Structure 1
């Protein structure tokens, strides 16, 4: 694999020499050249790029230039950086359609798309609710909540950061809580039946950007959801950040039926 990748970068070195008179900034030339190699199949999906030092030795570019060029392709989704491992070719940006007309869990959605959902826990704890959380969930004074802070992944790719707050009475034991909150609520006879969801575009905050292996300020979607049972009891207050380059939120719209005008006598 490494030999194939090195061969791809050598192709780029030759490409760069042929464009020595190009006034385009070198980091953009690097990104354009690597993009062409990926699209032509000379750098294959799943392969790792050589280190910045190796690319610098092969191309005579500075490591700052190389880093900036790679960052462009990471933002496009053609490359993916794994901490402590390296930079890998992904080839294409595959977007996920998230329906808005029905209430489903993240795990259910990912499974329906043939992806493997997983979770990295940031915090799982019983806590006193904030004033806003108590109001959203309609809690009585003295009631505790379970605060579930986690990174949601599909095929090991971090896609969202989620903070879910649930009345503690529905989660009697954190040891019995799996990766799916809705399954846990179903066992407590408190499965959500409907929800009010609000979303807006935002810049990814630094903390969430670090968790999502992204850059602070990248486009993101901030979503707030209050879920209720069929009886109208609030059982979940969730705030999430979704990577803006990975999701399309879709909803089917219908035109209200217009009544025919009354016939004239």
Structure 2
């Protein structure tokens, strides 16, 4: 029979050696998740109940839980409590090919859905004007989507394109690149910049993880064969869901 969360905490009761108590409690929960003794979706008891069962202070419990939330092992939902976080299958993404998110997920046989956060024509920001080379009075098309694979939110994409390239953002179906391909504006090369960032509250809620957890911020500037910049995209990827891989070779002598 599968152990309950209470069983895990009882195993730490009365143990006062082997490092700080909050670390022992943290390790006990993490080991239980890793070995499948508790599973995604299981709810933790209240802070008070954990403290009583494990014979530790509520401060110790709070510290252990905060560390596990920051690591993405637990997730806290306002008004509902603390739960074992969903386990997301790692996606390995090559940095050597210019492909769309839709193409990447289809190639892996994953079921892709998107939740539109924004799409429309706007007055460009100074950054968009410079990067996209917009003239006076030109509009910018902005699209923002939450990208979901097999039911798990993986990334938030926010793309900017000249309105002359994408005059009707509502016409996009599943794939932006498929739409650009139709009009002869699909990019042929891109420059990407990747940085580690901690998620803010709004993006964390969209990705169903705790605020402050590690994520990957990717800025992509994409070019047409003519050298014109056609797309500027800022994306946030879940740090627990993505591995980016690049092939490196020695230069020819």
Alignment TM-score, normalising by the size of structure 2: 0.81
SS of residue in 1 equivalent to 2:156: strand
Residue in structure 2 matching 1:247, options 228, 242, 253: 242
Cα distance change of structure 1 residues 70 and 107 upon mapping to structure 2, 3 Å threshold: farther
- Stretches of structure 1 that go unaligned for 5 or more consecutive residues are 259-265
The equivalent residue for 2:165 is: 170
Cα distance change of structure 1 residues 210 and 242 upon mapping to structure 2, 3 Å threshold: same
Superposition CA RMSD, Å: 3.1
What is the total number of aligned residue pairs between the two structures? 251
- Kindly state the Cα deviation for residue 217 of structure 1 after the two structures are TM-superposed: 4.2
Cα distance change of structure 1 residues 213 and 168 upon mapping to structure 2, 3 Å threshold: same
Alignment TM-score, normalising by the size of structure 1: 0.78
Residue in structure 2 matching 1:193, options 188, 195, 203: 188
SS of residue in 2 equivalent to 1:169: coil
Which deviates the most, 135-144 or 46-55? 46-55
1: CA distance between counterparts of 2:96 and 2:189? 10
The equivalent residue for 2:37 is: 42
2: CA distance between counterparts of 1:175 and 1:70? 43
2:130 matches 1:135: yes
The equivalent residue for 1:14 is: 10
Cα deviation digits, residues 101-134 of structure 1 (max 9, x gap):
1101122223333433332322212101112212
For 1:1-265, what aligned pairs fall within 5 Å after superposition?
4=2, 7-19=3-15, 21-22=16-17, 24-44=19-39, 46-52=40-46, 55-56=49-50, 58-59=53-54, 65-81=60-76, 87-88=83-84, 90=86, 94-258=89-253
Which deviates the most, 211-220 or 128-137? 211-220
Cα deviation digits, residues 35-85 of structure 1 (max 9, x gap):
2323343223x4422442685365465665444433433443444556676
Cα distance change of structure 1 residues 9 and 245 upon mapping to structure 2, 3 Å threshold: closer
SS of residue in 1 equivalent to 2:164: helix
Contact 1:171 1:177 (C-alpha < 8 Å) held by counterparts: no
